[in-house]
Amino acid sequence: MAIGITPKYQEEIPLHALTAQEFLTIATEAVARLSWSIHYQSASGFIAQSSTSAINSSSEIKLIIEEQTATISSESTGGEMIDFNKNKKNVQAFLAAFDTVQAEISPDELSVKSQELHNSLDLSAADLLKVPAESATQKVKNFFSLFIPKRNFFFTPILVNLNILIFILMAIGGADIFSPSSEILINWGANFRPLISIGQYWRLITNCFLHIGILHLLFNMYALLYVGVLLEPMLGKSKFIAAYLLTGIGASLASTWWHEQTISAGASGAIFGLYGVFLALLTTDLIEKETRKELLTSIGIFVVYNLAYGMKGGIDNAAHIGGLVSGLVIGYALTPSLRNPEKPSLGIVSIAALCILMLFSSFGVIKSIPNTESLTTYDKRFERFKTLETMALDVYTLKADAKKEDVLYEIRDRGIYYWNENISLLDSLEQLNLPPFVRERDKTLKEYCNLRIKAYELMYKAVDENSHKYDADIAKINKQIESMLKSFE
């Protein structure tokens, strides 16, 4: 699999007993059999273009004959940096077609066709196949071409440039390039649940263009370039940018739902989303089996390693997982339109459906998260629970020689009364928009209050009847209460 700024594969072929003109004649016939189109030809070779498919763009096929050696090369023209062995297969297909033509053509026929080809060439014009080799300066220019939008590599460089530009602007604005402050990140649009809960939904997308330090930026941009050169030529511009933005939102939603007070930023959620899209496509037959197997291994290792690395502190793995899952969904949703490139409306419908799905998902997640006002209200009202609990437990502070009437009063009119007040308080807190774990804790607290009431009712009977027959039941309930209290620690 060729990898480079412009992937290329070439082989040299000795002419053996053939003359340069005869070799060129057979090569021209081979290209015709492959249904490739020649758009330039001279006495020293030709430049042709291979055919395209739903996934693969065409390649430039170049044959140059010098002395007793011919060089056949295939070079990508679609803006991709990884060719999935496409160029090597083009060269192999040419060589196979060349051998077939050479075996079938008779000497007389070869002589006639060689003369016809010779007569068709303009030998007085300059030969474009004899230009100087690429200079070092040109190679540097080719590197920087990674940041210039091209036909099949359009939005990837735009996204990279935009992320870099925003980081530079943040640095100019006073942000530390290694560890910007939380305040600066918030001001520039980082994701933060309390602010999302009060309506600042734009943070779900703006945080995808911010980075927490230059190393964070460099790692993410490298990963974006890598997956972009693989994926954008396959998806096309519109599907690629839609996938990036939608998986970015999906990653932000997962982070918002999971983290209560964490400030998050970075393109990694959207990048994981693109890897998710790519993994989905790799499980289909859109990519050749041999290439699919190789890429599944490398992409799979990358994803698993980064998710495992994300288990350590300071990394938003919720965003990574959210992006990956949303990417898988989007990848499978786009597959029908990739199978039928002659139906552009199918791609438009797929993107529209995904946008609607993400809109409803956003609504559901945002509605499920608590807002700051609800948490503040809860904390204030829960203080009364603690006060009532303390008063309900005053019965255990009575002296051993306390009067029977005082003990009964303390159990029924204060103890049981305050436990019931706490149950009513917990019922009222259910009206607030609270996180699931808080609701679960309140449910357990209500069970705790009911156990206390059962114990107090048995204690009241024991004191009123001056009996020990309830001791075993009271001890059993107290053991349950003790176990429940440990679960709160």
Catalytic residue from among 255, 264, 320, 374: 320
Pair 262, 182: CB distance under 8 Å:
no
Clarify whether 59 is annotated catalytic. no
Pair 82, 229: CB distance under 8 Å:
yes
Write the CA distances from 343 to 255, 282, 336, integer angstroms: 36, 22, 10
Which two tokens mark 402? 């306390």
Which positions ≥6 away from 402 have C-beta within 8 Å?
none
Pair 207, 288: CB distance under 8 Å:
no
Catalytic residue from among 268, 326, 337, 350: 268
Name residue, tokens 């948490």. 375
DSSP state of 433: -
Which positions ≥6 away from 392 have C-beta within 8 Å?
414, 415, 416, 417, 418, 419, 422, 452
**45-49 and 59-66: which strand pairing?**
antiparallel
Which two tokens mark 339? 């199978």
DSSP state of 129: G
Per residue in 115-139, is it b (16+ CB within 10 Å) or e — as a string?
eebeeeeeeeeeeebeeeeeeeeee
The DSSP string of 18-37 is --HHHHHHHHHHHHHHTT-E
Clarify whether 135 is annotated catalytic. no
Residues tagged active-site: 268, 320
